[in-house]
Amino acid sequence: MSPARTALCLALASLATFAHGAGAKIDVIPMPAQVSESGEGFAVSAQTPIVVDAGDAQAKRSAEYLASLMARTRHLDLKVQQASATGAAIVLKRDASAPVADAEGYALDVTPKGMVITARDEAGLFYGAMTAWQLMTPTQGEGDVRVPAVHIRDEPRFNWRGFMLDSARHFWTTDEVRTVIDQMAQHKLNVLHWHLTDDQGWRIEIKKYPELTRIGAWRTPPGAGQNGEPKRYGGFYTQDEIRAIVAYAAERHITVVPEIDMPGHAQAAVASYPELGVTGKRPPVSVDWGVNPYLYNVDDHTIRFLEDVLDEVMTLFPSTYIHVGGDEAVKDQWQASAAVQARMRELKLKDENAMQSWFIEQMGQYLAAHGRRLVGWDEVLEGGVPPSATVMSWRGTQGAISAAKLGHDVVLSPAPQLYLDHMQSDREGETTGRMPPMTLESYYGFEAVPKELDATQAKHVLGMQANLWTEHMPTMRHVEHAMFPRLDALAEAAWSPVGVRDWHAFLSRLPAQLARYRAQDIGYADSAFAANIEVDRNAAIASGEASVALSNQAGYGDLHYTTDGTAPTAASPVYAKPFTVKLPATVKAVALAPDGALMAEARQRVLDLPSLRTRGTAEMVNCPGSDFGLRVQPTPDATSMKPSYVINVFDNCRMYPAAKLDGITGIRVETARLPRNYQLAHDTKLVVAHKGSTPRGELVVRMDSCKGKTLATLPLPAGGPDSFTLKGALAAQTGAHDLCLVFTSPITGPLYGIGSATLVPAGAAP
């Protein structure tokens, strides 16, 4: 951050109390640095023109984008004119004397005569247009709108406001990538980090090496051709397609930073050209998620290959930064290779980490010679940070702290805090992702400048970035569900000064943003606002009535509910304290903003004895010993959002907590056979094997602990459908006990996921 920008941000932050005082709520995300209100507003109708100076093509681009957004989201057709404004109008004007000096800054003023956006640069004008669009879409609706009389002076806190899209694990069409870019632009994000190569696929056409896409872009998934899984999966972007996407992003003031992984995550490349690898053997393109063992070798031929690749990459991507990965390079193949060890001795390198540092520095020097800068994940610090490296810190924030103290520029992108592939909640109805959940509030509260840095070191913080790895995101609906609205929280943390950020005010601005998503058919998640309907299961079973408590994750909005199965509305009772219902009952609840705007779709819970005796996949917990959690679908490339199963790849075991066993004589478990397509590298030793009594294994139910008394043994089927029901007798017990449900199947075979487990009382159908 420049000294001038720092000074202005501090000044604007000091105005926060004034800026956000009395007046109409401004439903803008991210919140501008300074907002004040005075005078009367401005009515926008179909007769309101958008005016730019004649001959200003840059202003015209921003004006046309604003007009297209208004047409799509409010069905209000505003005409763009290149002339001097003579009446009420929306004016976009580049002006060297605009009151905000930063290239991305803008001023926006609304009076009864119109709306005027001024900026010194096209980027600032564009961002001002995005704020204008939000001001003109305060609610979901169509036609004319009245904009309050606001006066905005705004510029971003950070230069790097990024989002990483992984196209290697799952492939996105060019139209889908454009959808992501448009949403980034609306959120004032300016860096698309595009992950294009990995073990599971090579997605960028390199003309000098055609096998990279002929072979490396395609994999044969587990279960190929069965249960909806394609016979092969993949795809790649031609160079013409990439040029078009880069140009599309540039028009929206987004720089595309490509990632070409090295020296690890190289299996797709080695599958294409085995001589690039360490063993000389051709592996398949990987179908496994996790940390694969394949690395590039370190000979001159491979270095030249990667330089050739970078040559073509640089012709396609004008970005100053080129990302070379550097993460999760397990050194086993290097350690076992006589050739690699000889090269290390030749270069007088002490270990394999130093070898990786040397490898990355060759790429850094090559990029620097072509006027580019290398950026890599924080593993590039191991073995000595290459002088040319900019560090993207993902293993927490320590990498950024260490690099900034050494004088290197850094981008904060830590896991799990800014990893969008972590689930948004642990609700039963969620889709796929990693655990633990990363909530909307946790995203909003993330601070990109570590407190361990002094003022000089903090200047090396370029900004922050959210990452979306797509192993478990097989469709764009999965991607949208994971991104939104958490990307709103990230955008505000990256753009707005600390002094104007307020969690509760942010929540009050979200209903308008959710309406904008609906208008654009963006499949956002409402997890933060969805009603949780909680009861004490065992007390309800014993008494025949349930005390019901309602809440939601964000603690925002009014929860309206019904108890007769009808759909709740704004006229339904508002939840204030726990209430009691007699069994059976169906409780439904919906979250509405104070003004009645929809925050989350209605959720329901059936309260009867069978449902109270059932635990869904998310309602069970890990067996003791491992806190790893992952929610997956039955096939790697599923095209629907459900079903999904919570699993622990290290221990195929789940706990049904506090099972009330009085009168229970049986158990029914909805089960799915899942591919064990995970590469765990050195963590393989942590996988727990449970000895079975048959070659295929069983589901064993034990009481109180995973070493407790066996209550049931349910053999696993030899074949048949991948989804099936296991059921059988359960030894009679009394009281409430934890039940350990452990699969004794061999760890060389499939995993098994539990969709639900139901306790069956005496006399009931199994």
Catalytic residues: 198, 265, 328
**First vs last Cα of the chain: how many Å apart?**
66
Burial label, 614 (beta-carbon count in 10 A; 0-12, 13-18, 19+): middle
Report the distance separating Cα 565 and Cα 587, nearest Å.
6
Residue whose C-alpha is closest to residue 313's, from 196, 409, 165: 196
Phi and psi torsions of 336, nearest 5°: -90, -5
Q: Is 264 helix (H, G, I), strand (E, B) or coil?
A: coil
**Count of residues for the chain?**
766
Cα angle, residue 322 at apex, residues 321 and 325 outer, rounded to 5°: 125
Report the distance separating Cα 140 and Cα 512, nearest Å.
7
Strand 80-82 with 50-52, pairing: parallel
Report the distance separating Cα 652 and Cα 752, nearest Å.
7
Report the distance separating Cα 410 and Cα 139, nearest Å.
38
Report the distance separating Cα 116 and Cα 93, nearest Å.
8
Report the distance separating Cα 742 and Cα 225, nearest Å.
30
DSSP state at residue 296: B
Residue whose C-alpha is closest to residue 667's, from 719, 623, 710: 710
Report the distance separating Cα 660 and Cα 667, nearest Å.
12
CA distances to 276, 419, 436 from 627, rounded to whole Å, are 37, 18, 9
**Residue-wise DSSP of 596-665:** S-EEEEEEEEEESHHHHTEEETTTSEEPTT----EEE-SSTT-SSS---EEE-TT--EEEEEEEE-TTEE
Query: How many other CB atoms are there within 10 angstroms of residue 274's CB atom?
Result: 13
Strand 89-94 with 114-119, pairing: parallel
Report the distance separating Cα 672 and Cα 436, nearest Å.
22
Cβ pair 326, 260 in contact under 8 A = no
Structure tokens at 3: 């000294």
List CB contacts of 210: < 8 A, sequence separation 6 or more: none
Structure tokens at 187: 């959120």
CA distances to 133, 511, 516, 557 from 593, rounded to whole Å, are 22, 7, 15, 5
